[in-house]
C-alpha cells in the first residue's frame, strides 16, 4: 500500500518513551532572590502539649527522600528512571495548545498558549508529584500513605499513584468538597483509597473541631491536621503533602521545563505566565524554571498568580509565620496567610480554598517577582464556559481563575495592540466539577 510522504508518523509511540520527559527536577530554592524562611516551633505550645515538637513530628512522619529534597542545594535533582517511565506512561510531556479559537473570539493580537495538565489520567497536575512520592514510599518500604485533599484532585492522584506502586492510601478530604463531588469520591474508592470527610470523628483534631463547632465545612487546613494526627498514630504510615512545600513544587517543575522546551520549538518567548494559586504547586512548578529568565528580564516577563476571592491570601493576606492547620499541629511556616482562624466560605473552588500557602510563593511575592489577582467564583466559571465554547475544553474551577487572568491580559493586549505571548497553566479538567458549573449557569 502506498503512503503519502506528507505523513511523518510519530517516531516513538506517545506515552512510552521516558526520554521525552525531563531528566531532572528543577530546584527552585537556589534560584530565589532570598532564602526560604525555615519552619519554626510555636512558642506558645513548644514541646509541652500533646503533639510535642512539631518539627520533630514532621521529620518522623515524612518520607526520607522528600525531606532530602526540601533541603537540597543543587539546582537540578535527577528524576529516578522508574519515575520518568511513569511520567511518560501518564502522558507526559503534556500538550502545549495554541488557543486560536479563544484568541479569535477575543479579537486579540495576543498569542495564548495553554499547558494542558488537564489531560493527565486523574484529571490534574497533582499526579506529577503523587507518582514521585509514591515511588519514594515504595522504595522506603512504607505500607500506607496518608494525606489531605481540598478539591479532591490530590487525593485522587494519591489513590492512583498508591495503587500503581502497591501502597494503601488514606485520604482526609475537606468536608464541603467531599460532599460536592460524589463522583470523584466513588472513583477514589474504586482505586482502593480510604476517604474520610474532614472534620471527622476519627482523629483528636477532627473531634476537637466538631466539639467546638469550628471549621465545620472543613478545609485543606482541617484535613492537614487530621492527616498528620493519623500518621502520628500509625507507625507503618507516612504523611505526604500535595502542595505548599519545596519538594512538591520541585516535583512539579516537569511542567515548566516542558513548557520552555515546547515554546522554544515554536520560536516563542513568553511575556506573561499565569497560573492559579492555592498551595502554589502548579504555579511553582510551571514558573520555577523561568526564575533565571525573570531575574534577567525583570518586568518584561510577568509572573501572575490568580487566586480565589474567597481565600485572597496574596492580595489581602499578610506575609508572616502561621500554622497550615487551624489546630496548630503543623510547625509555623512563613507565607501569605489570612490567619488560621479564618473560616473559609463554601465554594466550588476547593483547590484554592486555604488560609495560608507556600513559603516559596511567599518569597516570590514578597520579593516582588509575582503579581497576583483574585476572582469571584461566578466570574471564574464564566471564563470556564468561554473556554469550553471556544476551545472545547471543560477546565477545573481552579484553572478557570488562571484562564480569567489570561483572558484579561489578552483583552488589554487588544486595546494596546500588543502581540503579547501569554502562557497559562491549565491545572486540571472539570468533568468531575460539572455541578459547580451548573450551579453558576
Which chain residues interact with a second copy by CB under 8 A?
Answer: 1-4, 6-16, 19-24, 75-76, 78, 89-91, 93-98, 101, 116, 119, 121-123, 160, 163-164, 183, 186-187, 190-192, 258, 261-266, 292, 385, 388-389, 392-394, 431-432, 434, 437-438, 441
Q: State the pairing for strand pair 168-174/333-337.
A: unpaired
Grid coordinates of 290: 523561568
Residue 190 CB, shortest distance to a second copy, in Å, is 6
d(CA 146, CA 134): 11
Residue 409 CB, shortest distance to a second copy, in Å, is 21
* DSSP string covering 127-149: HHHHHHHHHHHHHHT--EEEEEE
Residue 337 phi/psi, 5° resolution? -140, 155
Question: How much of the chain is in helix, strand and coil states, percent to nearest 5?
Answer: 45, 15, 35
Residue 13 CB, shortest distance to a second copy, in Å, is 4
- Residue 263 or 411 having the CB closest to a second copy: 263
230 DSSP 8-state letter: H
Grid coordinates of 168: 494503601
Grid coordinates of 188: 477514589
* Contact status, residue 32 vs residue 364, Cβ threshold 8 Å: yes
Residue 88 CB, shortest distance to a second copy, in Å, is 9
* Contact status, residue 274 vs residue 422, Cβ threshold 8 Å: yes
Q: State the pairing for strand pair 370-375/302-308.
A: parallel
- Residue 29 or 432 having the CB closest to a second copy: 432
- Residue 90 or 228 having the CB closest to a second copy: 90
- Residue 191 or 220 having the CB closest to a second copy: 191
Residue 89 CB, shortest distance to a second copy, in Å, is 7
Residues 125-137 as b/e (b if ≥16 CB within 10 A, e otherwise) read bbbbbbbbbbbbb
- Residue 104 or 211 having the CB closest to a second copy: 104
- Residue 187 or 277 having the CB closest to a second copy: 187
Grid coordinates of 247: 519538594
- Residue 55 or 386 having the CB closest to a second copy: 386
d(CA 97, CA 387): 13
Residue 4 CB, shortest distance to a second copy, in Å, is 4
Residue 405 CB, shortest distance to a second copy, in Å, is 22
d(CA 219, CA 426): 23
Residue 266 CB, shortest distance to a second copy, in Å, is 6
Q: State the pairing for strand pair 272-276/421-426.
A: parallel
d(CA 327, CA 220): 12
Bridge partners, 319 (sequence order): 336
- Residue 48 or 73 having the CB closest to a second copy: 73
Amino acid at each position: 500500500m502506498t503512503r503519502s510522504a506528507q505523513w511523518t508518523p510519530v517516531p516513538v509511540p506517545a506515552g512510552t518513551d521516558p526520554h521525552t520527559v525531563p531528566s531532572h527536577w528543577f530546584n527552585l530554592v537556589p534560584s530565589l532572590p532570598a532564602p526560604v524562611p525555615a519552619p519554626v516551633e510555636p512558642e506558645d505550645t513548644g514541646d509541652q502539649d500533646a503533639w510535642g515538637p512539631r518539627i520533630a513530628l514532621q521529620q518522623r512522619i515524612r518520607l526520607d527522600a522528600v525531606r532530602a529534597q526540601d533541603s537540597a542545594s543543587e539546582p537540578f535533582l535527577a528524576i529516578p528512571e522508574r519515575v520518568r517511565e511513569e511520567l511518560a506512561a501518564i502522558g507526559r510531556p503534556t500538550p502545549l495548545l495554541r488557543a486560536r479559537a479563544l484568541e479569535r473570539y477575543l479579537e486579540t493580537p495576543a498569542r495564548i498558549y495553554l499547558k494542558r495538565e488537564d489531560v493527565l489520567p486523574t484529571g490534574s497536575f497533582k499526579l506529577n508529584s503523587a507518582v514521585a512520592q509514591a515511588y519514594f514510599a515504595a522504595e522506603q518500604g512504607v505500607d500506607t500513605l496518608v494525606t489531605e485533599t481540598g478539591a479532591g484532585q490530590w487525593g485522587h492522584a494519591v489513590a492512583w499513584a498508591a495503587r500503581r506502586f502497591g501502597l494503601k492510601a488514606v485520604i482526609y478530604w475537606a468536608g464541603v468538597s467531599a460532599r460536592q463531588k460524589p463522583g470523584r469520591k466513588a472513583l477514589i474508592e474504586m482505586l482502593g483509597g480510604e476517604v474520610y470527610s474532614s472534620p471527622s470523628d476519627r482523629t483528636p483534631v477532627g473531634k476537637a473541631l466538631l466539639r467546638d463547632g469550628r471549621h465545620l465545612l472543613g478545609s485543606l487546613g482541617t484535613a492537614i491536621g487530621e492527616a498528620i494526627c493519623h500518621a502520628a498514630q500509625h507507625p507503618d504510615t507516612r504523611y505526604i503533602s500535595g502542595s505548599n512545600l519545596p519538594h512538591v513544587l520541585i516535583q512539579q517543575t516537569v511542567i515548566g521545563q516542558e513548557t520552555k522546551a515546547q515554546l522554544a520549538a515554536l520560536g516563542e518567548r513568553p511575556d506573561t505566565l499565569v497560573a492559579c494559586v492555592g498551595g502554589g504547586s502548579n504555579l511553582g512548578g510551571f514558573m520555577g524554571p523561568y526564575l533565571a529568565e525573570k531575574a534577567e528580564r525583570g518586568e518584561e516577563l510577568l509572573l501572575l498568580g490568580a487566586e480565589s476571592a474567597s481565600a485572597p491570601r496574596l492580595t489581602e493576606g499578610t506575609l508572616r509565620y502561621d500554622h497550615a492547620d487551624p489546630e496548630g499541629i503543623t510547625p509555623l511556616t512563613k507565607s501569605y496567610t489570612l490567619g488560621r482562624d479564618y473560616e473559609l466560605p463554601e465554594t466550588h473552588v476547593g483547590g484554592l480554598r486555604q488560609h495560608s500557602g507556600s513559603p516559596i510563593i511567599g518569597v516570590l511575592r514578597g520579593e516582588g517577582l509575582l503579581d497576583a489577582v483574585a476572582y469571584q467564583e461566578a466570574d471564574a466559571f464564566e471564563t470556564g464556559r468561554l473556554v469550553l465554547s471556544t476551545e472545547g475544553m471543560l477546565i477545573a474551577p481552579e484553572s478557570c481563575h488562571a484562564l480569567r487572568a489570561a483572558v484579561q491580559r489578552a483583552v488589554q493586549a487588544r486595546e494596546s495592540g500588543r502581540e503579547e505571548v501569554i502562557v497559562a497553566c491549565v491545572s486540571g479538567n472539570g468533568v468531575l466539577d460539572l455541578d459547580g458549573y451548573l450551579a453558576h449557569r
